[in-house]
Amino acid sequence: MKINFWLVDAFTDQPFKGNPAAVMLVDDFPSDQICQKIAQEIHYSETAFVKPIKYEQFQLRWFSPKVEVDFCGHATLAAAHVLLHENIVQDQELHFITKSGPLRVTKADDNLLLLNLPLQKGEEDVDLKIFKSILEVPVLKAVRVINDVIVEIPEDINLQSLHVDIKRLEDTKFRGIIITQKSKGDFDFISRFFVPNESITEDPVTGSAHCKLADYWMHKLKKTEFKAYQASSRGGVIDIEVQGNRVLLKSQATILMRGSWIANT
């Protein structure tokens, strides 16, 4: 079995920044077991498998090293970048069929990529005491969004250097914990995203988290366009625009490596 693949850093134009993803271009999907083994071998937070359907339409699946996942923003950006940058398609708009429904990625005039994703709205407040104890800093608000929680801390705390006890986060009932704050500098807000019960405890730059953060900060800041920074050790910048019940994430990606998967399976 030979599969062409690319290693891509998404949400950045610099190598070794942003969020890494592998992109596997297949004529047909291997078995779920083989997809999982490939993702485990590469051991990025997500590996995208892309199958052409017709000229501008593709079926897209994402696998973490442990399981197939329902949605992954940065691996979608990585897949779109490969298809456009490598001239696999000439169109400026790509359509992906996924487990989470149809997704659209457009190449903007400035060569940035625009991901059109569903806005994910906050559902209910969460007891602040839980996260005040875990983070050992003041907590302004905590809101559940689907199976994640947004935790806002004051802007005078250095979020990038904040020590987060992953073991204590594991005891919460949430899949992911998004810690965020209003920014004093060039960005409207910054964030970090932790997934304590998965193989990658802190995600470097997360498209899906910004689908939640966009709604949260839209109501807090009374605006619909933002520049955001995810303050992981790798870091990444995302321009955001809310349009009704959709959110547009504008960013870029860079290819680090291309090659062929040749292992017999």
Distances from the Cα of 77 to the Cα of 83, 126, 165, angstroms: 10, 31, 30
Which tokens belong to 86?
A: 């490598």
Task: Find the catalytic residue in 46, 68, 198, 241.
Answer: 46
The answer to whether 41 is a known catalytic residue is: no
CB 19 within 8 A of CB 236: yes
Torsion on CA atoms 150, 13, 254, 8, rounded to nearest 10: -30
Rounded CA-CA distance 206/208 in Å is: 6
Rounded CA-CA distance 67/91 in Å is: 32
Tell how strand 113-118 and strand 47-54 pair up: unpaired
DSSP state of 27: S
Strands (E), 43-118: 47-54, 57-63, 68-69, 93-98, 101-107, 113-118
Which tokens belong to 179?
A: 């810690």
Side chain identity, residue 226: F
The sign of the torsion formed by the CA atoms of 107, 108, 109, 112 equals negative
| CB-facing half-sphere around the CA of 239: CA atoms within 13 A | 8
CB 46 within 8 A of CB 199: no
Positions marked active-site: 46
